[in-house]
Chain A
Amino acid sequence: MLRVFRYWVTRYRRTWRGSIVINVLNPLLFLIGIGAGLGALVDDNAPAQIAGVSYAAFFAPGMLAAAAMQNAFLEGAAGVARAAGFGAYRSATPTPLRPEQLAAGHLLFITFRVLIASGAFIVVMAAFGLIRGWWALGALLGATLTGVAFAAPAAAWAVGVRKLRQIDTVFRFVIMPLYMFSGTFFAVSQLPEWIRPVSYLLPLWHGVELCRTLSLGTATISGSSVHIAYLLALAIGGFLVARVTYRRRLHP
């Protein structure tokens, strides 16, 4: 498993520049464009509406979790589908590496990438004065966990995907709506009463809440453990399914 991880890291050392735009600059631009720009309008209008903090401080941790989800999904789905179709997995199949080791090593690498990207984002948040204290480091782990909770199920599914276009479709119809309606841009409590329970089922909502409460210093033990348990369940469940689907695709 660590060998697989080392493979991906070696590769990434040569290719990280190619992903820097989408992984790091994209969330940063949203932080400035939406958090600071649109935030100026929000703060002028209703300063007290969102938990008594500036809109940027409210939005940034949401963006942190959402960016972790997007990065993890893209690498977990498109990266895995490509590796399974004509890349690394094909070459690794004849070696003694078992499919579940391939899955675990690749997921470990995705975790590492999400951790780095989230770390960079949190440094910027700190530079803008958008975090309160050391609990923000908990948000770093929260964002990484959010990433894994998406990467593992994505990998379990994508290892069997033969048309990359399907991944675009899932991104557009699953990931984008999650991004928009999981409390990233506005609080779920603004939604009409009847639709809120749906939001509470969304995995990204748990990631956003976890990161937001940690970075604003309002986290409670019971609340955070529910979020963590939900995300962990997705990550572990995804990995268990991945063990089966990897074996099915790579050793038919």
Chain B
Amino acid sequence: MTTVAVPAWTRRRALALVERNVMIYRRSVTPLLNALVEPILYLLSIGVGVGMLVGTVPGVDVPYAAYVAPAILATTAMNTAFNQTSFGVFIRMRVEKTYEAILPTPLSVTDIAVGEVTSAMINALLTSIGFLTLMAVGGLVTSAWVLLALPASVLISYAFAAGGLAVTTYLRDFPDFQYIQLFMLPMYLFATTFYPLSVYPEAVRPLIQALPLYHSIELVREPTLGHLGWDLLIPVAYLLAFGSIAMYVATRRMTRAMLR
């Protein structure tokens, strides 16, 4: 049999999986709307409610809600992407056996990985657009640079979608998801989402600055508050590196697990 020389994966093939996910999501918009409920509640309760008690954050001259909103935007992009490649992929891999049905087709494991990450990024971009719209309606937008939050959320979702995919390959069963929670929840609370780095003692700061969510929040918050500088390249580089390493680990491990 003659085989056509094709690369290990092509963009078009990965897009077939994206198309599959889009077709399924189109039937129910609810998962995307659901993804917006929690961030909105946090924004109203902590941003606006507790914000009345906080006033302004030291060193930042915007109301507290406007300070928190970009961070919640970053976490929304993170969660949407991460949930799809962790829960979603785990269910498709172990419960629904979707990939077993896909592998006999021309798609490779790498195509599946790239396709899942791409469609997670699309979903994250959609929820980010939704959240940004709500921020604008609520008067929490103070700078036109806020539009940079959208490419930023694409990058964030790349990093976390790939990260989720890599982590999923290590999970044995559903109870293992709580170990993920054990990492994600503290990161959500401590990665400067609700207060600046200056609240922490000097010794703890490098620990916080090592977190991927810290860089994600920087990347959204700084332009949203109108601060633009070359130092934004640090989070960009961090997230690109984080996502690419995770992507490498994920495809390697998925290939090994699925093509025994």
Q: Which A residues are within 8 Å of any B CB, using their own CB?
A: 18, 21-22, 25-26, 29-30, 32-34, 37-38, 40-42, 44-46, 49-50, 55, 172-173, 176-177, 180-181, 184-186, 190
Assess A176 versus B175: contact at CB under 8 Å? Given A21-B182, A38-B195, A40-B195: no
In the complex, which residues of chain A have a beta carbon less than 8 angstroms from the beta carbon of B53? 42, 45-46, 49-50, 55, 186, 190
Cβ–Cβ contact B182 & A186, under 8 A: no
Known contacts A26-B185, A185-B49; 17 further A-B pairs (Cβ under 8 A): A18-B175, A21-B181, A21-B182, A25-B182, A29-B189, A33-B186, A33-B189, A37-B199, A41-B199, A42-B50, A42-B53, A176-B38, A185-B50, A186-B50, A186-B53, A190-B49, A190-B52
B59 to A: closest C-beta gap in Å: 11
CB nearest neighbor in B for A32:
B189
B27 to A: closest C-beta gap in Å: 15
Of B39-47, B69-77, B132-140, the segment with at least 4 beta carbons within 8 Å of chain A is B39-47
Cβ–Cβ contact B50 & A180, under 8 A: no
Cβ–Cβ contact B178 & A21, under 8 A: yes
Assess A38 versus B194: contact at CB under 8 Å? Given A45-B53, A49-B53, A55-B53: yes
In the complex, which residues of chain B have a beta carbon less than 8 angstroms from the beta carbon of A41? 54, 57-58, 64, 195, 199
Say what secondary structure dominates the interface of chain A. Answer: helix
Assess A37 versus B34: contact at CB under 8 Å? Given A21-B178, A185-B46: no
Cβ–Cβ contact A22 & B45, under 8 A: no
Can you report 8 residue pairs joining A to B where beta carbons are below 8 Å apart?
A21-B179, A25-B182, A26-B185, A37-B199, A44-B58, A172-B34, A180-B41, A180-B44
Assess A186 versus B190: contact at CB under 8 Å? Given A22-B181, A55-B53: no
CB nearest neighbor in A for B200:
A37
A41 to B: closest C-beta gap in Å: 5
Cβ–Cβ contact B42 & A180, under 8 A: yes
Assess A172 versus B190: contact at CB under 8 Å? Given A34-B46, A185-B49: no
Expressed in whole angstroms, the Cα–Cα distance for A13 and B133 within the complex equals 48
In the complex, which residues of chain B have a beta carbon less than 8 angstroms from the beta carbon of A50? 53
Assess A22 versus B178: contact at CB under 8 Å? Given A45-B54, A180-B42, A186-B45: yes
CB nearest neighbor in A for B51:
A186
* B203 lies within 8 A of chain A by Cβ: no
Q: Which B residues are within 8 Å of any A CB, using their own CB?
A: 34, 37-38, 41-42, 44-46, 49-50, 52-58, 64, 175, 178-179, 181-182, 185-186, 189-190, 194-195, 199
Of A33, A50, A184, A190, most buried by chain B (CB within 10 Å of CB) is A33
B79 to A: closest C-beta gap in Å: 13
CB nearest neighbor in A for B191:
A33
B247 to A: closest C-beta gap in Å: 28
- One of B49, B178, B181, B195 near A37 (C-beta < 8 A): B195
Cβ–Cβ contact B37 & A29, under 8 A: no
In the complex, which residues of chain B have a beta carbon less than 8 angstroms from the beta carbon of A185? 45-46, 49-50
B181 to A: closest C-beta gap in Å: 6
Expressed in whole angstroms, the Cα–Cα distance for A50 and B175 within the complex equals 40
- One of A37, A46, A55, A180 near B55 (C-beta < 8 A): A46
CB nearest neighbor in A for B30:
A169
Cβ–Cβ contact B46 & A30, under 8 A: no
Expressed in whole angstroms, the Cα–Cα distance for A35 and B182 within the complex equals 19
Cβ–Cβ contact B199 & A33, under 8 A: no
Nearest 5 interchain pairs by C-beta: A33-B189, A180-B45, A186-B49, A45-B55, A21-B178
Cβ–Cβ contact A33 & B55, under 8 A: no
Cβ–Cβ contact B38 & A33, under 8 A: no
B179 to A: closest C-beta gap in Å: 8
Expressed in whole angstroms, the Cα–Cα distance for A55 and B49 within the complex equals 13
In the complex, which residues of chain A have a beta carbon less than 8 angstroms from the beta carbon of B175? 18
In the complex, which residues of chain A have a beta carbon less than 8 angstroms from the beta carbon of B56? 45
CB nearest neighbor in B for A183:
B49
